[in-house]
Amino acid sequence: MKILICNSEHCKSNGSEEILKELEKLQRESDFEFLTSSCMGLCSNGPNVMTYPDLRIYGNVSVNRIKDILSSEASDLLHPNDRVYSKELCSEISLDPMHRRSVKLFRYHLEKFNDFSVANLKVLISSFKSKYEVTGNRFIYPIKLALLGTIKGPDLPEIIYFLGKEGTIKALDKFLKKA
């Protein structure tokens, strides 16, 4: 299991740093990885945690519930679908030919990319956006939607690093196969 913990100011002020300390302790006993994340866009319910491979986003997480998340016994902390997913926006993005073009082109560049670190992924994304003159949500939303099924969640470099190259390409391919 992999875990991303939001480390934005809001989540920090609500206990994400304590969660990180607890995860460091628990990591000695269990087999999981964890990373910090930028804001997941769900601030009113922080601290927020995302898990992989199930891609679940938990909110209002406290130190005493980390073990429940690790053992998949924290369904009461899952963000409700209507907070995470917007069917109208997701449908609009997934059907827009320009958004699909961005996903396809980014997949091509990612496939050739080998130096997989968050810092290097930031450089790749920045150069891609500059090269194709795709900025802001016109790039971020379709890629997040392709990877997570939602526009919420951490920044793209963290998501891509979290999923790994193979997992990211697989998710992009699955998105592109949809009509």
pLDDT in tens, 86-139: 667 767 777 778 888 999 999 999 999 988 898 999 999 999 999 999 887 888
Phi and psi (nearest 5°) for 63? -55, -40
**Average pLDDT estimate for 2-20:** 91
Report the DSSP beta bridge partners of residue 78: 58
SS3 of residue 78 by DSSP: strand
Q: Are residues 173 and 155 in the same domain?
A: yes
Cα separation, 145 vs 94, in Å, equals 8
What the block records as the tokens of 35 is 């990373």
Number of domains in the chain: 2
What is the rounded CA–CA span in Å between residue 128 and residue 145? 18
Residues 119 and 73 in one domain: no
Pairing of strands 49-52, 33-37: unpaired
Tell me the whole-structure pTM to 2 decimals.
Answer: 0.80
Instruction: Kindly provide the residue ranges of all beta strands, DSSP E only, lying in the chain, ordered along the sequence.
Output: 2-6, 33-37, 49-52, 56-58
Q: Are residues 152 and 166 in the same domain?
A: yes
Q: Cα separation of 50 and 39, whole Å? A: 11
Give the distance, in angstroms, between the CA of residue 90 and the centroid of all CA atoms in the same chain: 16
Q: What is the largest CA-CA distance in the chain?
A: 47
Query: Of 54, 83, 112, which residue constitutes the final position of a domain?
Result: 83
Same domain? 107 vs 163: yes
Answer yes or no: do 141 and 119 share one domain. Answer: yes
Residue pair 159/147 in contact by the 8 Å Cβ criterion? yes
Q: Are residues 51 and 78 in the same domain?
A: yes
Percent residues over pLDDT 90 in the chain: 45
Do both 123 and 68 map to the same domain? no
Q: Which structural domain range is residue 92 located in? A: 87-177
Please report, as a single letter, which amino acid is at residue 117.
S
- Domain edge (last residue) among 83, 112, 143: 83
Query: How many Cα neighbours within 13 Å face the side chain of 112?
Result: 6
Q: Which of 65, 83, 101 is the last residue of a domain?
A: 83
CATH of residue 97: 1.10.10.350
Q: pLDDT-based confidence at 49, cuts 50/70/90?
A: very high
Write out pLDDT tens, residues 53-63. 888 889 999 99
What CATH number is given to the structural domain containing 53? 3.40.30.10
Is the same domain home to 111 and 38?
A: no
pLDDT at 86: 66
Residue 100 and residue 131 in one domain:
yes
